[in-house]
Amino acid sequence: MSDDDDRLARVALTWLAEPGTRSVHALVDQLGPVAALELLLDGGAPEQWLRSAVAARCREGDPRAVAAEALACRERLGVRLVTPDDEAEWPPQLDGLRRMVLRGATRRVDIETAPPLCFWVRGAWPLREALTRAVAVVGARAATAYGVHVATELGYGLADRGWTVVSGGAFGIDAAAHRGALNAGGLTVAVLACGIDRPYPMGNAGLFDRIAETGLLVSEWLPGAEPFRPRFLIRNRVIAAATEGTVLVEASARSGATQTFNRAVALHRRPMVVPGPVTSAMSVGAHELLREQPSARLVTGVPHVLEEVGRIGVDLASPARAPQRPRDTLDDEAALVLEAMPRRGVIDVDRLAARAGVTVRTAMRKLSLLEELSLVHRRDEGYALTTPARAPTPPRAEVMGPLHDDPGRPANGR
């Protein structure tokens, strides 16, 4: 059996049954793709619902002819077909989908979560290499300005540190994460829920072209396939399985992005949530996951994400601390002397020692220290607090300036 026959059979099987169908994947494992296709076309599917689905599809056309026509379009569309036989390109981490079980799953879309049979890929990067160090950033389509800002920052920061940013190409959080990675000159991968030649949503067509130029567009469905609603959930298992962890940035109570997150949990990938305002409907789903999922980690930026997915002992986030001030280094007696200083005016050493409850000798020693730190200064009649120099007020344009340190970096990733 030739490699071309295997590829054609995999494409035909993906057309006959939705990707992720476990019984189809099991037949391919047992018999090979060509024999599995023949069995299904002969009515040998193990489940009645699958036999009905195959029969319905066959009334639309010959699966082999449909697959052959799709394969013939590869050069015209600038895409390639990647299968598990392409060891240099196939991401081995997708094999985790064999063992994934979603607790309490009753819907077919939550049960049929087998690994893909093949991928249609647009872009020059080898798929396996692109997904070697990858993080998913997902969230609400109806994102708030806060969510778009955070997702753009995450996409930029992760890509800037050599990580691939994976998302679904949707409006809102997905698009912001992709744009952030592109603005950093990094690598991003969009996993689509439709044919690779059908940009969906159409409003992101330009974004998809940019991604294809420097990253990858990936789809399990044949060219021309429509973006039916269940296909987004089918697609989400790939986003979760292909990455080291999934970061959820904004999600309403019924957001599809929470499904990606739950699949990451089931796959034992790193599940991360960015908190949002408790008054925002777009943060309800995210906050519920933080409450309900013991493995969920709260992250507030790139350092936290890298601590979760990076190398042990290397990618550790620094604890959040306020800037250190000179008074933070004072011992107890020096702090007492400083606290006893009057807010205005001058005080002599004897009175200061009495107010602080220390000896005059101790007060003099601590005043010398406070002078060195420029917290107090000596006058003819005693000591006074040093008034901090007031920083000049910046022009309004600077106050409202970019959100990034890099002046050449866009503030919103658009």
> Phi and psi at residue 119, in whole multiples of 5°?
-130, 140
What percent helix, strand, coil does the chain show, rounded to 5? 45, 10, 40
- In single-letter form, the type of residue at position 147 comes to G
Please tell me the predicted confidence (pLDDT) of residue 116. 98
> Angle at CA 135, nearest 5°, toward 275 and 119?
130
- The domain spans of the chain are 1-72, 73-309, 326-385
Q: In sequence order, what DSSP letters do the residues of 299-338 get, joined into one string? A: --SHHHHHHHHS-TTTSPPPPP-PPP-GGGG--HHHHHHH
Has residue 265 got a pLDDT over 80? yes
Same CATH fold assignment for domains 73-309 and 326-385? no
> Which pLDDT does position 400 carry in this prediction?
34
Query: What is the predicted pLDDT for the residue at 167?
Result: 98
pTM to 2 decimal places: 0.81
pLDDT tens, 14-41?
Answer: 999 999 999 999 999 999 999 999 999 9
Q: Top-level CATH class of 326-385? A: mainly alpha
pLDDT digits (tens, 9 = 90+) for 179-227: 999 999 999 999 999 999 998 999 999 999 999 999 999 999 999 999 9
pLDDT of 389: 58
DSSP state of 374: T
Q: What is the pLDDT of residue 2?
A: 78
The more confident residue out of 343 and 180 is 180
Say which CATH class 73-309 falls into.
Answer: alpha beta
Nearest Cα to 199, choosing from 82, 20, 77, 115?
Answer: 77
Residue with tokens 């390639």: 80
> Residue 189 belongs to what H/E stretch?
strand 188-191
* DSSP conformational letter for 2: -
- What phi and psi values does residue 293 have, to the nearest 5 degrees? -100, 110
Torsion sign (Cα): 270, 256, 208, 402? negative
Which of 296, 306, 256 has its CA nearest to residue 274? 296
Closest to 98 in 3D by CA, of 46, 26, 166, 32? 26
DSSP sequence for 84-130: TT-TTTS-GGGGGGGS---TT--SHHHH--PPPS-EEEESSS-HHHH
